Amino acid sequence: MRTFAVVAEHGTVSKASTLLGVAQPALSRQIKDLETELDVKLFDRIRRRLVLTNEGQLLLGDCRSVLGAVHSLKDRALLLRRPDAGVLKVAATPQTIDGVLSVFLARYAERRPNVQIKLTEAFGTELVTKLDRGDVHIIVTTAGAIEANRSSFETISLPPLEFVAAFGPALDFEKADSIDVGRLGPHPLLLLNTSFAVRVAFDAACRVADFRPNVTFESRTPHTLLALAEAGHGIAVVPSVLPTHRYNLRIVRLTYRRKPLREAYAIVFDKRRSLPPAGQDFCGSLVGYVREVFPISRPSKAGVKRVAARKGRTT
């Protein structure tokens, strides 16, 4: 099954042979044996590449689940010896890593020094894919990234993300701590690209508000948007989990019909697999920390000058 999954991902026996350290004839026999045992053709050979058949595509997900369960069993057996130790694999977006986990993990390490946190950065559906495959134990993500039919996923709610607009001192904008999303219309917007679930949620909110954003720039790097906004290239729309105090920016909360634009935010794990003993403690600690610090990015109270002064104090 491992051979099947690796060949499916890379499309050739030669690449799979190198990755697995097994001779090509042996890999080919393994694929043939699996097809014989299942009585299903898994691949079509097209121009020297192996392409999954429809049946192979459907079975690949089941195969990965089995492999993930085997890996989880090994991890579980090891961790049962040390319930206060072991490895916990966590994946999150760059803004969550920056705004939440960078400080939280340092605190958690002081309390649980024998728990090793392996942190992975991912975006949108990449997070769900990693959890589904068993690559990670826990993800921190928005509700929009989780498909409605994912009954195998357990969620622990966190305070919701709010959307904020960040802009530099050169922009002449109204002096309020919140604005309706429709008021952004005349201005160039700097947005996270559509690989982020929060961008998908923002686009949905714009459609509901009957507002078409004037998108000037899209990025996979949140701080690029803040740097561009500080330099006067437009208004950055970012989730409130992203730290903005390092920049000379004014922050306002985005609303629609006087209600904040929000997106549900949660810790998610897969109920089909055993969560390491440290997992429950980690989740509970993270919930408490997020409630303590949210929102990370808060509306400016006294305009740009105060923001600039605060920046000077923190550098």
pLDDT digits (tens, 9 = 90+) for 70-85: 877 777 666 655 657 7
pTM: 0.67
Share of the chain above pLDDT 90, in %: 39
Q: Measuring CA to CA, which residue among 198, 197, 91 is closest to residue 139?
A: 91
Q: Measuring CA to CA, which residue among 168, 163, 152, 138 is closest to residue 234?
A: 168
Output 246 or 13, whichever has higher pLDDT. 246
* Contacts (Cβ under 8 Å, ≥6 apart) of 244: 164, 166, 226, 238, 251, 297
Q: Measuring CA to CA, which residue among 154, 142, 122 is closest to residue 201?
A: 142
**Sign, Cα dihedral of 166, 169, 173, 176:** positive
pLDDT of residue 88: 92
Model confidence band, residue 147 (pLDDT cutoffs 50, 70, 90) = low
93 pLDDT above the threshold of 50: yes
Rounded Cα distance, 165 and 249, in Å:
10
Query: ∠ CA(149), CA(155), CA(159), 5° rounding?
Result: 125
Rounded Cα distance, 223 and 228, in Å:
9
303 pLDDT above the threshold of 50: no
Strand runs labelled E in 99-230: 115-121, 138-142, 153-167, 178-180, 189-192, 215-219
Answer yes or no: are the C-beta atoms of 269 and 279 closer than 8 Å: yes
Model confidence band, residue 315 (pLDDT cutoffs 50, 70, 90) = very low
* Contacts (Cβ under 8 Å, ≥6 apart) of 160: 262, 263, 264, 265
- Residue whose entry in the numeric block shows the structure tokens 């929102």: 295
| Helix intervals (H) in 39-174 | 54-79, 94-96, 102-111, 125-133
pLDDT digits (tens, 9 = 90+) for 156-189: 999 999 999 999 887 766 677 888 998 888 899 9
307 pLDDT above the threshold of 60: no
Count of Cβ atoms closer than 10 Å to residue 260 Cβ? 16
14-36 average pLDDT score: 85
